[in-house]
Amino acid sequence: MQICLCSQSESRALLLGRFGVDFIQKSVDYDESQITATVAKDFVYTASKGKLEAAIRAFGLDVPLLCADTVIAAADGTILRKAKDVADARRILHMQSASTISIISSLHYKSKRLAFSDISTTHYHFAAFEKEDLEAYLESGLWAGKAGGCMVEGFCKKYIQSVDGYESTAMGLQVETLLPWIRLDQKMLQYTQGVR
Mean pLDDT of 31-60: 94
On average, the pLDDT of the chain sits at 93
Q: What is the DSSP string of 21-52?
A: --EEE------GGG----SHHHHHHHHHHHHH
> Does 194 have pLDDT greater than 90?
no
Active-site residue, from 29, 31, 62, 69: 69
Confidence of residue 85 (pLDDT cuts 50, 70, 90): very high
What is the pTM for the complete model shown?
0.85
26-54 b/e (C-beta count within 10 Å ≥ 16 → b): eebebeeeebeeeebbbbbbbbbbbbbeb
Query: What is the structure's pLDDT at 33?
Result: 84
Confidence of residue 151 (pLDDT cuts 50, 70, 90): confident
Does residue 69 have an active-site annotation?
yes
Percent of the chain with pLDDT over 70: 99
Query: What is the structure's pLDDT at 195?
Result: 56
- By three-state DSSP, how is residue 6 classified? coil
How many angstroms separate the CA atoms of 169 and 154, rounded?
15
Mean pLDDT of 42-69: 96
